Structure formats: structure tokens, C-alpha cells
């Protein structure tokens, strides 16, 4: 099998649900799991991004989290109310949730079990970073290295999203296909911060592909609840033994740069890479820097463990 080998999406029964996953790269290469963020399907790890990582000598596995894309849809959990958010913020009353980040971490280890992977390099973006952190805390033996991108610790002292980014997150779901396509472009314009013509040119095709795979607004709401109900990982992150790399954009409007800095400060020996001009996205011009950093970090960890 060559490094560009690519297996089409498949379903795995793991942790009591169906998880849709896809594999790039050689079957014998170092396994690297990509964990996506809130309301984002696995295809938000761009095909070319995955192929470039596979070419660096990884068996790259991307998957749809529960409640998104082609993975199982769950039920329960009403749309978040402003009152609940106020209670959480000022009274520290946790939000009720049908599942938590720990359940999503068990989805990850369940998928690894199905694929016969004892331990893997974990790369998580945004909520995916939170899930990866949870795996590193709760199932340390499963993690060869941890890369947490544009994520945070759940520490309430980290500054909240900008008003514009919060508005994108809390907006009611689009009612029609055309509205969805327009919203997708508008959302990423806010999250990318600045002009990225290569990505802007792909917004429409990316939106179409996401729409075709199926939307689940109620599921996104449950994922938000999972994050808010899980509280802060800050204290527990002190126990993480996996070699850790934290990547964050200097202009992230959703998970503020302080979130990345707090993550790196909370995990013993973590390295922090701040990427100048990067918002809450993985824009194409920044791939070389991000892929290089993941490659060096994961292969460096593997060499140390050998």
C-alpha cells in the first residue's frame, strides 16, 4: 500500500453508536486521528490537508463526531436559552446535557478499538481539541502525542468570543439550501479573520458538500451543551503525560488566543505555537506551518518512545 492510499468512508459501531470514518495513508504508518470541532463534519479536515499529512508518514483517520455528518444522531436537549448561559456564567450552575465531552472521548477510543489501534497521535481542533484533551486525561495509555489546535481548557477566566463570533455561533439555523450556502461563506469570513482568496474560492463547494452529507442543527446544540456541561479541564490537565503541542491563531475571534496559552500553561512540558494572523480556521496558506508542526511533534514523540 502506498502513502497516498485512500479508503472511502465507512461506518464503525463504537461506544454504542455508528461513527463514520475515513482513512488516508499506509496501513502500517503511525496512526494519527483528526478530531473536528463543534458542528463541523470530518470533511472540514480538507482532503488535501489529510493527504499531505499521510505523505509525511501517517495513517490519517478523520471521522464525524456523534450528532454530525454521517455518524449517529442522538436525541434530547433543547435549544440553549440565554438564561441557562447566564446561570452558568454568574451562578456556575452547569447546563443539562444528554452527553458530555467524556462520552465523545469514549467515541474516539471506541473507534480506535474497532480499527485495532492501541494508541495514536491525536490532533483536535476547537471542540476536537477539548475531546483530545479529555482522551489524554482519562485514557492516557491511548495517546502517543497530543496536538490541541485553537482550543481551550474550559477555564471560565479565558475571555469569551468576540460579539461577532458569538453571533455566528448562536444564530438560528438557516431554513433553506441557499440560505445555508450564504451563511457558510459569511461564517467562515468571520472565523478566518482577514482575506484568504484560496479558501473563499472553495467556500461554495465546501458548503455544498457539507449540505449534501446532511445537517443536524439539534445535534450541534447538543454538542454545545456537552462542552458547557463538562466544565473546566484546567486542573486535570496537569496529569497529562503525552507530549503536547498547542497551536493557536493570534487573532482567533471564537476561542481567544488566551485559550491556547491557558492550555499550554496547564499541561506539563507543552509547547506553544502561535500562528500570526490565524483566526478560528485552518486556512490553506497556513497549512505548511501547521502540517510541519504536527509532523515534527508526532514523529519526535514517536522517536522518543521508541
d(CA 113, CA 171): 37
Spell out, as residue ranges, where the chain has pLDDT lower than 50: 1-3
Can you give the pLDDT at residue 143? 98
Q: Name the maximum alpha-carbon separation found in the chain.
A: 56
Query: CA-to-CA distance for 276 and 194, rounded, in angstroms?
Result: 12
Question: Which pLDDT belongs to residue 1?
Answer: 41
| pLDDT attached to residue 189 | 97
Contacts of 245 by beta carbon, 8 Å cutoff, 6+ apart = 145, 146, 147, 148, 270, 271, 273, 293, 294, 297
CATH number 3.40.50.1820 given to 6-305: yes
The domain segmentation of the chain, as residue ranges, is 6-305
Task: Pick the closest to residue 245 from 289, 281, 188 (CA basis).
Answer: 289
Query: How many angstroms separate the CA atoms of 211 and 221, rounded?
Result: 17
Q: How far is CA 36 from the centre of its chain?
A: 3
Looking at residue 299, its pLDDT comes to 95
The pLDDT value recorded for residue 88 is 72
- What is the per-residue pLDDT for 3? 43
pLDDT digits (tens, 9 = 90+) for 92-144: 777 888 999 999 999 999 999 999 999 999 999 999 999 999 999 999 999 99
For residue 305, the model assigns a pLDDT of 81
pTM for the predicted model, two decimal places: 0.95
Amino acid at each position: 500500500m502506498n502513502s497516498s492510499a485512500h479508503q472511502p468512508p465507512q461506518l464503525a459501531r463504537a461506544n454504542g453508536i455508528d461513527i463514520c470514518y475515513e482513512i488516508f495513508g499506509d496501513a502500517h504508518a503511525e496512526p494519527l486521528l483528526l478530531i473536528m470541532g463543534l458542528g463541523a463534519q470530518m470533511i472540514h479536515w480538507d482532503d488535501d490537508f489529510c493527504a499531505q499529512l499521510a505523505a509525511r508518514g501517517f495513517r490519517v483517520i478523520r471521522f464525524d463526531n456523534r450528532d454530525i455528518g454521517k455518524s449517529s444522531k442522538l436525541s434530547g436537549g433543547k435549544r440553549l436559552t440565554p438564561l441557562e448561559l447566564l446561570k452558568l456564567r454568574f451562578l456556575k450552575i452547569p447546563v443539562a446535557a444528554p452527553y458530555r465531552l467524556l462520552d465523545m472521548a469514549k467515541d474516539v477510543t471506541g473507534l480506535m478499538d474497532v480499527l485495532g489501534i492501541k494508541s495514536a497521535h491525536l490532533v483536535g481542533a476547537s471542540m476536537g481539541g477539548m475531546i483530545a484533551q479529555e482522551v489524554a486525561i482519562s485514557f492516557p495509555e491511548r495517546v502517543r502525542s497530543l496536538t490541541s489546535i485553537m482550543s481551550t481548557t474550559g477555564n471560565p477566566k479565558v475571555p469569551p468570543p468576540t460579539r461577532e463570533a458569538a453571533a455566528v455561533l448562536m444564530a438560528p439555523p438557516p431554513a433553506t439550501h441557499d440560505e445555508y450556502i450564504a451563511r457558510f461563506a459569511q461564517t467562515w469570513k468571520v472565523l478566518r479573520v482577514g482575506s484568504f482568496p484560496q479558501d473563499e474560492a472553495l467556500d461554495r463547494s465546501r458548503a455544498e458538500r457539507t449540505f449534501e452529507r446532511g445537517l443536524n442543527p439539534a445535534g450541534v446544540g447538543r454538542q454545545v451543551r456537552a462542552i458547557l456541561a463538562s466544565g473546566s479541564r484546567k486542573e486535570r490537565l496537569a496529569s497529562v503525560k503525552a507530549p503536547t503541542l498547542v497551536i493557536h491563531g493570534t487573532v482567533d475571534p471564537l476561542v481567544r488566543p488566551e485559550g491556547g496559552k491557558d492550555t499550554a500553561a496547564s499541561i506539563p512540558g507543552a509547547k506553544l505555537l502561535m500562528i500570526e494572523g490565524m483566526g478560528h480556521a485552518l486556512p490553506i496558506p497556513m497549512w505548511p506551518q501547521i502540517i510541519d508542526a504536527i509532523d515534527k511533534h508526532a514523529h519526535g514523540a514517536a522517536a522518543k518512545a521508541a
